[in-house]
Amino acid sequence: MLITTPNLGNADEAYARLIAAHDGLSEEASHAMNARLVLILMNHIGNAAVLAEALRLARPKADQPI
Amino acid sequence: MVERRYELAFELYPYRQVPDQAAEAPVRHPVVIVGGGPVGLATALDLGRRGVPVVVLDDNEGAGLGSRAICFSKRTLEICDRLGAAEPMVGKGVVWNVGKVFHEDRLLYEFNLLPEGGHALPAFVNLQQPWFEKFLHDAIQKARSGGAQIEIRGRNRVDAVRPAADHVALEIATPDGPYKLEAEWLIACDGARSPLRGMLGLAFDGRVFEDNFLIADVKMTADFPTERWFWFEPHFKSGDSALLHKQPDGIWRIDFQLGWNIDRKAELEPARIRARVDAMLGPGVEYELDWCSIYTFQCRRMEHFRHGRVLFAGDAAHQVSPFGARGANSGMQDADNLGWKLALVLEGTAPDSLLDSYDAERVQGAEENILNSTRATDFITPKSPVSKLFRNAVLDLAGDLPFARVLVNSGRLSLPCIYDGSRLNGPDHPAMPARSRPGAVCPDAALSEGWLLRSLSDGFTLLTLDAEAPEEMEAHGVRMKRLALTAKGNEPLRERYLGGAAGAVYLIRPDQHVAARWDAFDGSAVRAAVARAIGKE
């Protein structure tokens, strides 16, 4: 099951760390970092159903595959 | 001459000659407070009620015009309640619980502060700052008639300050010319630009976040609900954020975040302001502009709030962004923290090192406020394209996914600092609830008669819940009264104070923060905790 309720102990802290991790990177380097981050977290999750649900929720609403 | 720098909403302390002005040698007072804003008045009231004679110097003669700080938190009201000033504040103030958050014109979600039951005072009231100051001043007048020695000298401007070993010397300008005064202790509550800080050559450092807010108070009869509405990137194109809030007397407060590079004078043109307000309220809404101003903020603080015999409090010591209502509310916590400590030092019960704990505890509070305020500012005005990308991703998801809602940061509303790690804290008990641990403010609770916070004494209190203790006790020159309660049949009291313990003994400081707690009374343990709480250890 994909968790969509709050699951971070200190959400503000976690968010600030995410933004700070990009400090000093160019936009292109930031996108590349985001891609690596998604791959690392995907592997950690490891569950195909959970990932499918996450991909569905993240895809723009107006642009959902039929 | 002492120029009036701003117009008044209420004249409260008109200039009068006092004998000190004609004295041959400078008269020395135990405490002089500079600045008659909320923090200066609250500190004077607290000290006066504790029997300390206080002189307040202000370069004007009352409460300045303009709503300014409008959101007063429950903790601020509790402090004012202890000082006898809260009732008219709650009576006149607007109580609100519901907040709505928009991105452009899309409602993302709404929240309800719905305070848990069993608190005498509401989570927030909105009240114009001049009214807040007037009600504090009314309470000062009442305390005076009860014998408190609080003197407020209007149009007394401090022009020079000279710290010495056992006092601070002041030179003061008045409409009748200058005079000199000495203070054993000087409290600087002279605002964000603090002339005293400048005269003493003290730095005011920090991560500089600068922004301008256009504040428009509009009077209208339109039937908007009593809610806090916050917009990210508002559809009416006023800037990064906007806020709509209700105040008493049919006045609505609108804050437009304008950004840093603006032409202040042009932005304050009434036609320009009306164009912004029209775009926000939509067509056909009738209103009058009541008061407008441009407000600039920085996030920063002094490194230390104590400099020998000079103590800084409120905006003079620290400044934050307006997101979260952490300005005036944190200043009131400074006043709350300082009053009892300075009174104990002046009467010789506590060593003056107790005032170092004011510095430590309130620097901790200021750090927490600056951290929260900085994060909110980063979320509202992202500093890089990738930061904005994430911010907008959070806003996109917040409509549907609960986890994203908690990441939306339009300001984390002011809560009192818990002084974890303070050297004044004594023993904790592992079975008792975290929320009332040493360093925390006592949570209020309904009692069979009245309220818990209102039952605490002005000094130290020994609170017992289903536990024995002497009715009165003295330790290290501190007299304590017992407040004996039972949690039987009072579930909120059990949840807030007992947790898994069968009984509890709490040592509570005069500012209603918990100093220490045990599951049973032990006289020598209480005496040791009192010594610690007054800086004798």
DSSP-derived secondary structure letter, B451: B
Query: CA-to-CA distance for B466 and B201, rounded, in angstroms?
Result: 54
CB-nearest to A6 from B394, B397, B406 is: B406
Give B314's contacts (C-beta < 8 A, 6+ positions apart). Answer: B35, B37, B38, B39, B40, B189, B191, B328, B330, B331, B334, B335
- CB of A27 within 8 Å of a chain B CB? The answer is yes
Inspect the interface and report whether the beta carbons of A6 and B403 lie closer than 8 Å.
yes
Inspect the interface and report whether the beta carbons of B397 and A57 lie closer than 8 Å.
yes
Tokens representing residue B460 in the block: 């130290």
Shared domain for B443 and B525, answered yes or no, is yes
Query: CA-to-CA distance for B478 and B398, rounded, in angstroms?
Result: 52
Query: CA-to-CA distance for B536 and B424, rounded, in angstroms?
Result: 9
Q: Which of B335, B367, B399 finishes a domain? A: B367
Angle between helices A11-21 and B385-398 (to 10 degrees): 150
Q: What is the pLDDT of residue B311?
A: 98
| CATH, residue B495 | 3.40.30.120
Q: Is B467 within a domain?
A: yes
- Partners of residue A12 in chain B, C-beta under 8 Å: 372, 375, 407, 409, 412
Which CB contacts under 8 angstroms, 24+ apart, belong to B18-23?
A: B18/B151, B18/B153, B20/B179, B20/B181, B21/B174, B21/B176, B21/B177, B21/B179, B22/B179, B23/B179
Grouping H, G, I as helix, E, B as strand and the rest as coil, residue B405 is: helix
CB B99 within 8 A of CB B138: no
| CATH, residue B77 | 3.50.50.60
- Provide the number of structural domains found in chain B: 2
Query: CA-to-CA distance for A58 and A27, rounded, in angstroms?
Result: 21
Q: Is B348 within a domain?
A: yes
Q: What is the pLDDT of residue B283?
A: 82
Shared domain for B69 and B165, answered yes or no, is yes
- Partners of residue B394 in chain A, C-beta under 8 Å: 15
Residue carrying structure tokens 């939306």: B408
CB-nearest to A57 from B375, B401, B405 is: B401
Q: How does pLDDT run across A6-55, given as a tens digit for each residue?
A: 999 999 999 999 999 999 999 999 999 999 999 999 999 999 999 999 99
Q: Chain B neighbours among A 36-55 (CB < 8 Å)?
A: none
Query: CA-to-CA distance for B175 and A57, rounded, in angstroms?
Result: 69
Q: What is the pLDDT of residue A66?
A: 55
Angle between helices B385-398 and A27-45 (to 10 degrees): 40
Query: CA-to-CA distance for B335 and B361, rounded, in angstroms?
Result: 12
Question: Along the 537 residues of chain B, how does pLDDT read in single tens digits?
Answer: 788 888 999 999 999 999 999 999 999 999 999 999 999 999 999 999 999 999 999 999 999 999 999 999 999 999 999 999 999 999 999 998 889 999 999 999 898 887 788 999 999 999 999 999 999 999 999 999 999 999 999 999 999 999 999 999 999 999 999 999 999 999 999 999 999 999 999 988 876 667 888 999 999 877 778 889 999 999 999 889 999 999 999 999 999 999 888 999 999 999 999 999 999 988 888 899 999 999 887 889 999 999 999 999 999 999 988 888 899 999 999 999 999 999 999 999 999 999 999 999 999 999 999 999 989 999 999 989 999 999 999 999 999 999 999 999 999 988 999 999 999 999 999 999 999 999 999 999 999 999 999 999 999 999 999 999 999 999 999 999 999 999 999 999 999 999 999 999 999 999 999 999 999 999 999 999 999 999 998
Inspect the interface and report whether the beta carbons of B401 and A4 lie closer than 8 Å.
yes
Inspect the interface and report whether the beta carbons of A19 and B390 lie closer than 8 Å.
yes
- For an interface test with B, which of A15, A23, A30, A61 has the most B Cβ atoms less than 10 Å from its Cβ? A15
Q: What is the pLDDT of residue B275?
A: 93
A-chain residue closest to B390, CA distance: A19
Inspect the interface and report whether the beta carbons of A6 and B402 lie closer than 8 Å.
yes
Q: Is B166 within a domain?
A: yes
Shared domain for B40 and B135, answered yes or no, is yes
Give B414's contacts (C-beta < 8 A, 6+ positions apart). Answer: B71, B73, B75, B324, B325, B326, B329, B330, B369
Shared domain for B64 and B189, answered yes or no, is yes
CB-nearest to A12 from B397, B400, B409 is: B409
CB B244 within 8 A of CB B96: no
Q: How does pLDDT run across B246-291, given as a tens digit for each residue?
A: 999 999 999 999 988 899 999 999 999 999 999 998 888 889 999 9
Q: What is the pLDDT of residue B103?
A: 95
Shared domain for B75 and B158, answered yes or no, is yes
Q: Is B339 within a domain?
A: yes
Residue B173 to residues B28, B155, B161: CA-CA distances in angstroms?
Answer: 17, 8, 12
Q: Is B411 within a domain?
A: no
DSSP-derived secondary structure letter, B446: B
- Phi and psi at B50, nearest 5°, equal -90, 5
Inspect the interface and report whether the beta carbons of A4 and B384 lie closer than 8 Å.
no
Give the strands of the sheet with B211-220, arranged side by side.
B106-112, B98-103, B227-232, B241-247, B251-259, B211-220, B287-297
Q: Which of B379, B366, B35 is nearest to B190 (CA)?
A: B35
Give B74's contacts (C-beta < 8 A, 6+ positions apart). Answer: B115, B119, B121, B122, B123, B124
Shared domain for B78 and B166, answered yes or no, is yes
Q: Which of B367, B398, B421 finishes a domain? A: B367
- CB of B385 within 8 Å of a chain A CB? The answer is yes
Q: Which domain holds residue B498?
A: 434-533
Shared domain for B83 and B168, answered yes or no, is yes
Q: Which of B45, B129, B126, B124 is nearest to B84 (CA)?
A: B45
Tokens representing residue B336 in the block: 């709350």
- Quick one: how many helices (H) and strands (E) in chain A? 3, 0
- How far away is chain A from the Cα of B405, in angstroms, using its nearest Cα? 8
Q: Which of B313, B342, B367 finishes a domain? A: B367
Output A64 or B169, whichever has higher pLDDT: B169
- Partners of residue B375 in chain A, C-beta under 8 Å: 12, 15-16
Query: CA-to-CA distance for B164 and B173, rounded, in angstroms?
Result: 21
Q: Is B244 within a domain?
A: no
Q: Which of B295, B292, B218 is nearest to B252 (CA)?
A: B218
- CB of A10 within 8 Å of a chain B CB? The answer is no
Supply the ipTM of this predicted assembly: 0.95
- How far away is chain A from the Cα of B402, in angstroms, using its nearest Cα? 5
